[in-house]
Amino acid sequence: MSAGLPLSEDDLSAYADRQLPPERVAEVAARLVEEPALAARVAAIQRQNAMLRDAFDPWLAEALPRDFIAAASGRRARPSRATRAWPAFAAAASLLAGVALGWLVRGELLQREGTPVTFPRQAALTHALYATDANRPVEIWANEEERMVRWLSKRLSFPLHAPNLNSVGFALVGGRLVAGNERPGALFMYENADKQRISLLVRKDAEPARETAFRYALEDGVGVFYWIDDSCGYALSGNLDKLQLLSIARIVYGQLAAAEASAPKP
């Protein structure tokens, strides 16, 4: 129909950003096949988008000032306590605990900033925070899995693998960078047909930790299987039956071990 019309700059942008109305996608895609110069423009826009995300995404993993948490719940922080920055996960931890226990005790919880957060607790809270996020549970979606794994590996400074859990009905949703105690961690999110979500948190701290067997913890109703392997902590979290979660944790463990065995030794 409109095959003769030249594609506008807007068309190319919309196509590159996947915002073209569905009825026009096929038409534009066909034109791009015919005109390699335009296809190259689209590819350049997409490369530029990827580069912009690489440049701006690290900001998301920074610790948030604790005043933000107070302001986000409709209160201004008291100025005397306003200066301390808090790791984002600890803030989220207090928040979620506060939601669970009721607003009255929240103020107190926010002040217990010295409370150490254990690895399974961090995993459960991080899971609770992002698994319920309808719009943006992950920073990079699974359709860009390769870029996501590359980006997270770069940020964590060691090679990561996103396990494939399709065999147990969980598809990869995507991944995100999350704040950790000393270094950032990576979170991979999975979802099954019933929209149940589970997540795998991977974290490596500066202090090498001792290897452990599988351990189980129940934190605020979220089940967590966690283990430490080669000084790297892994935690699989979800609101699943314990045995079901364990069987998935075994698959994750097996796949990571296989990936490690096949990786070239440094």
Partner 1 sequence: MPDTLPDPDLISALPRLRRYARVLTGDFTRADDLVQDTLARAWEKRRLWKAGSDLRAWLFTIMHNVYVNQRSVRRRESAESSIDADQGPVAGWEIPTRATQSDRIELAEVLAQIARLPGEQREVLLLAAVEELRYEEIARVQGVPIGTVMSRLNRAREKLRHINSEPAAQSFKVVK
Residues that bind partner 1 (CB under 8 A): 9-10, 13-14, 17, 19, 44-45, 47-49, 51-62, 64-65, 67-69, 71-74, 76, 88, 91-92, 95-96, 99, 128-130, 132-133, 135-136, 154-155, 157, 183-184
Residue 151 or 225: the one with the smaller Cβ distance to partner 1 is: 151
Minimum CB separation of residue 20 from partner 1 in Å reads 10
Residue 155 or 168: the one with the smaller Cβ distance to partner 1 is: 155
Minimum CB separation of residue 236 from partner 1 in Å reads 21
Minimum CB separation of residue 95 from partner 1 in Å reads 6
Alpha-carbon gap, residue 165 to 251, rounded angstroms: 8
Alpha-carbon gap, residue 27 to 92, rounded angstroms: 46
Residue 92 or 117: the one with the smaller Cβ distance to partner 1 is: 92
DSSP designation for 220: T
Residue 129 or 252: the one with the smaller Cβ distance to partner 1 is: 129
Q: Which of 203, 70, 193 lies closest to 126, judged by CA?
A: 203
Residue 83 or 115: the one with the smaller Cβ distance to partner 1 is: 83
Minimum CB separation of residue 193 from partner 1 in Å reads 23
Minimum CB separation of residue 166 from partner 1 in Å reads 25
Residue 47 or 242: the one with the smaller Cβ distance to partner 1 is: 47
Residue 223 in tokens: 């089940």
Q: What DSSP string describes 64-94?
A: EEHHHHHHHTT-PPPGGGTT-EE-HHHHHHH
Three-state SS at 27: helix
User: Is residue 128 a contact partner of residue 96, using CB atoms and an 8 Å limit?
Assistant: yes
Minimum CB separation of residue 50 from partner 1 in Å reads 8
Q: Return the residue matching tokens 């189980």.
A: 216
Residue 44 or 258: the one with the smaller Cβ distance to partner 1 is: 44
Alpha-carbon gap, residue 89 to 181, rounded angstroms: 9
Q: What DSSP string describes 93-161?
A: HHHHHHHHH-GGGHHHHHH-TT----HHHHHHHHHHHHHT-SS-S-SEEGGGHHHHHHHHHHHHTS---
Minimum CB separation of residue 213 from partner 1 in Å reads 31
